Chains A and B, each alone.
Chain A
Amino acid sequence: MDHFPTNWGRPRYDGVDLYNTYPLHVRQDNARDAFDSAVQRTRQPIVTGTSVLAIKFKDGVILAADNLASYGSLARFKDIQRLHPVGSHTVIGAGGDMSDFQYIQHELDNLIISEFTSDDGHKLGPAEIYEYLSRVMYGRRSQMNPLWNSLLVGGFKDGKSFLGYVDLLGTTYTASTLATGYGAYIAQPLLRKAVEGRENKLTEEEGVKIIEESMRVLFYRDARSLNKYQVAVVTEKGVSISESRESPTEWAFAEKLRGYGAQTQ
């Protein structure tokens, strides 16, 4: 029963306090819609992916991302594929909230299906996917309900490579080397040094080597990474996402040192 006479005869909202135990002077705002509290806005990412890396090389682009989806500091899901092919010319890689990424994957798959059914002789290339994603991301940000991701869009169409970055704020950026998350601080210096100025001379093996080196350094220094990652290569031949691979690591570099200061034994 409702103990407060000022609420009798007025619309009731049972969503929160079933026994209406609020003090009299703090009467509930019952004019609000019952579904108000059910509408959720993304305030924080829950299950997250870490960095994604990408570079341009002579014949196309290479992307890489590890197979981890973390739940805060727990390494929860260790076999997630964070690289997703879109059509036959593009791959997108995502860091950030994985549920929002799954929604984006679904939307893009629907886009490709309706493109297929329209059968108009045109195929959606990386530039179109990039433009579409940037509009979606900025639109969601403007409603204060972002898709909490940082995405890399890479592809090859009509003889030209494409590489772009879109994030939860709708920021867009293209360059010949890209990295999201911790990769921007750790891997980007290595990628830039190796690639900038030489995009048209870099071969696929060299490109994959640089990416593998960067993924190794990221595993050393990013506390939310995993030593199991995939590499995607997009050329005129199409999209190919590799099987999961592991980097060789060296942990005995300070074997002879003891303690953290004056200790010698």
Chain B
Amino acid sequence: MADIYRKSGFDFSNTVRNNYLGAKGVRLPKATSTGTTIVGCLFKDGVVLGADTRATEGEIVADKNCEKIHYITEAIRCCGAGTAADTEFTTALISSNMELHALSTGRKPRVVTAMTMLKQMLFRYQGHVGAALVLGGVDTTGPQLFTIHPHGSTDKLPYVTMGSGSLAAMAVFESSWKANMDREEAIALVAAAISAGILNDLGSGSNVDVCVITKDKTDMLRNYLMPNERDPKERSYVFERGTTAIKKETIRKFEVTDEVITGISGGDAMDTS
């Protein structure tokens, strides 16, 4: 019955409430943001995706080894930057819909299908779903690479970077990317780009994840590089002998020589008569 009173189009009624709360001093809940450096690049046989593994909550590192390369289908993966919950749920939803779509069409899923589903959903939410994605995969039309911004715009490029560390990573790409690289070169380039983000951006850190997608298979190289390993815990804090240096040695003997004479043999015996 309430349907006949529901207006068509977007419903922004909560913005009035939010503005009121903002004026009263209530701050928006702080979402876990992935900070992040994510990259993708095309090479001769397919596409390589890369990501760092740090998730931040304001200035605190919430997760030191999170996974930012999400599964869409067997041959399509999506890196996510922005609000962690948004990227997780958005990619999971589209992955689920892609599976159903593939079963319905009877064909291998295509990257442009996932891209269209993602951009239409993000546009519908007018940028409030804070998901900035790098979508890459190989389908029957060949290797494809896209970026999708939170407001729903997409770009089709041979190499892309997103996230707070994107400038550092893009600097590496701009100086070293070339067309038709082979697998090792592409992996090395992606790892170098993510490392630049990890070292120079405070929102990115920990390890490098790499995912290589080709026509035949997809390799998920989780923690491909670990440049920030923690030193092993000692667990024992005993001081070794010699920790304190010996500066001077003096020896005093405390041996006491006592002469005890017991039982005098011969000599004067006691006179007991």
Contacts and interface: CB of A to CB of B under 8 A. Distances in A.
Contacts of B155: 260
B174 A220 contact: yes
Contact of A254 (B158, B170, B199, B200): B158
B175 interface: yes
Contacts of B153: 260
A112 interface: no
Interface residues of B, number: 25
B171 interface: yes
A192 B200 contact: yes
A190 B199 CA distance: 11
Interface of A is mostly: helix
A176 B146 CA distance: 37
B205 to A, nearest CB: 14
Interface string B23-53: 0000000000000000000000000000000
A192 B192 CA distance: 13
Which of B158, B171, B174 has most chain A Cβ within 10 Å? B171
B225 interface: no
B208 interface: no
A186 B115 contact: no
Contacts, number: 62
B181 interface: no
Interface string B99-129: 0000000000000100110010000000000
B157 interface: yes
Given A189-B199, A189-B200, A253-B158, A261 B171 contact: no
Contacts of A253: 158, 177, 179
A262 interface: yes
Interface in B150-181: 153-158, 167-168, 170-172, 174-175, 177, 179
A264 B116 CA distance: 14
Contacts of B171: 186-187, 189-190, 214, 217, 221
A230 to B, nearest CB: 21
Contacts of B174: 216-217, 220-221
Interface of B: 112, 115-116, 119, 141, 146, 153-158, 167-168, 170-172, 174-175, 177, 179, 196-197, 199-200
| 7 shortest interchain CB distances as A-B pairs | A185-B167, A189-B168, A189-B196, A262-B112, A189-B200, A217-B174, A261-B154
Interface of A: 182, 185-190, 192-193, 213-214, 216-217, 220-221, 253-254, 257, 259-262, 264
Given A185-B167, A213-B175, A261-B115, 4 more contacts: A190-B171, A260-B154, A261-B146, A262-B112
